[in-house]
Amino acid sequence: MGSANTLEKAIYLKLMAGVGCFPWATGNVFFVDGVAGDNANVGTIPTAPWLTITYALTQCVDNNDDYIIVLNHWQEVVAISVAQVHIIGVSSNPSHSFVQMNAAGATAIFTVTAASSDCEIAGFSFGGGATHAGIENTAGTPEGLYIHDCQFGHSLAANTPQDGIRVALNATAIRVENCSFYGNAAGGTLSRDGIYWASAADPLNGTIINNQFIGCPGSGINFVSVSAGTGGITIKDNVFACDADTQGSAITLGATCGDFFVVDNRAQFGENAMAANPYLDGAALDSNHWSNNISGNAVIYPA
């Protein structure tokens, strides 16, 4: 068996340092460079990458734990239509550890559907098109979607997404972890919410943990609607620098949310504790579980 070359070792070390455990599972490993790649290349070695993530997805197999390693990129609209695929950005720039992805017009950048179950997205800095999000669900119910170690709302021109992540239909057992969401009040470009959940369907479990939301003009996390009395999402250990001293600007749960567990989150506006309550629960009393959430330096229950 041949030994890895210097570039392969560098990529492996970057993956381990930047996005955690990289198991080199049983699936295929493909490489993409959206600036210098070519879809006529072999694509299976980092020195001969493909040009687009879309082409790489056509070479992946459902439920095969295939990896797409994105070395560089700029602009692409990607519909993820393969289950159990890992799309990992690995930047070669030591001062900017995310691969930048920009909007191609008024569109989302990554779109997930029921065909995207058990997929992983990590290591990217997302823009997005106006009235859309960086990552968006518009049809079907992806299960087990894992989004982590990403930035949303970077400040490059022509990237003005409403939201960082938008669930317009449903997502079961979603996990969003260790991401940053930058609103247009904080040098970013998100014009509404960090995470916007507009579904009337049943989200069935999931976790939003250890993220930061800075200057989002709407809410950091906004569950507008789910099926009546359902939910079961854990929202834990997130921090919010609120855009304004307004009710629900950190976390808002709509009237139909049930069995949410909201614990150990922190919200701040300027140097002082907020006068308005940054946490808003519109559901009936005792529908959800709130514990040890802080506004400024004080533990507070939701409005």
Predicted confidence band at 75 (pLDDT cuts at 50, 70, 90)? Answer: very high
Give the closest residue to 210 by CA, choosing from 258, 274, 257, 149: 149
Taking the C-alpha atoms of residue 122 and residue 262, their distance in angstroms, rounded to an integer, is 24
pLDDT at 161 over 50: yes
Task: Yes or no: say if 150 and 94 are a contact pair by the CB < 8 Å rule.
Answer: no
Per-residue pLDDT, 216: 97
Per-residue pLDDT, 229: 65
Give the closest residue to 234 by CA, choosing from 213, 211, 200: 211
pLDDT digits (tens, 9 = 90+) for 265-298: 999 998 777 899 999 999 999 999 999 999 998 9
Task: Yes or no: say if 87 and 120 are a contact pair by the CB < 8 Å rule.
Answer: yes
Residue 291: strand pairing partners: 263
pLDDT digits (tens, 9 = 90+) for 96-129: 789 999 988 899 999 999 999 999 999 999 999 9
Region 151-166: what's the mean pLDDT? 90
pLDDT digits (tens, 9 = 90+) for 234-252: 999 999 999 999 999 999 9
Taking the C-alpha atoms of residue 65 and residue 67, their distance in angstroms, rounded to an integer, is 7
Spatial neighbors of 84 by CB under 8 A, at least 6 apart, are 27, 62, 63, 64, 65, 66, 117, 118, 119
Strands of the sheet containing 279-281, edge to edge, are: 78-80, 110-112, 133-137, 163-167, 195-197, 221-223, 251-253, 279-281
Give the closest residue to 298 by CA, choosing from 237, 275, 281: 275
Per-residue pLDDT, 98: 94
pLDDT at 202 over 50: yes
Taking the C-alpha atoms of residue 123 and residue 177, their distance in angstroms, rounded to an integer, is 12
Q: How many CA atoms lie within 13 A of 117 on its CB side?
A: 10
| Averaged pLDDT of the chain | 89
Indicate the SS3 state at residue 211. coil
pLDDT digits (tens, 9 = 90+) for 120-148: 999 999 999 999 999 999 888 899 999 99
> Three-state SS across 257-289?
EECCEEECCEEEECCECCCCCCEEECCCCCCCE
Taking the C-alpha atoms of residue 126 and residue 164, their distance in angstroms, rounded to an integer, is 8
What distance, in Å, lies between the first and last C-alpha atoms of the chain?
62
Task: Name residue, tokens 């687009």.
Answer: 52
Taking the C-alpha atoms of residue 168 and residue 165, their distance in angstroms, rounded to an integer, is 10
Task: Yes or no: say if 222 and 246 are a contact pair by the CB < 8 Å rule.
Answer: no
Per-residue pLDDT, 15: 57
Per-residue pLDDT, 204: 77
Per-residue pLDDT, 117: 95
pLDDT digits (tens, 9 = 90+) for 8-52: 555 555 555 555 555 555 799 999 999 999 999 999 999 999 999
